[in-house]
Amino acid sequence: MAVPRHKHTRAKVGKSRMHKYIKGISLNVCPKCKKPILSHTVCKNCGHYKGVEAVNVLANLTKKDKKVREQEIKEASKA
């Protein structure tokens, strides 16, 4: 079995661990509705991916919520 030849000092351990931390997630902006989304995923707000509607988000909403959501998407795509 391999045995370490030299002692690993606290400084060396610290220098190594300095780069091993969790980086914050990077968010992109949905081109359709301008909401922040994870990259390579379907937008949860409008259901679009790469400019094509992948999921019909409005299908399971009530009539009132549907109107509000449609309005939001329209306004965001205009701006």
Residues of this chain that interact with Zn ion (CB under 5 A) are: 30, 32-33, 43, 45-46
Q: How far is the CB of 35 from Zn ion (least distance, A)?
A: 5
Q: Which residues pair with 52 in a beta bridge?
A: 49
**Residue 15 or 74 with smaller CB distance to Zn ion:** 74
Quickly list H helices, 3-62: 10-17
* C-alpha span between 65 and 74 (Å, rounded): 14
**Residue 2 or 59 with smaller CB distance to Zn ion:** 59
Q: How far is the CB of 65 from Zn ion (least distance, A)?
A: 16
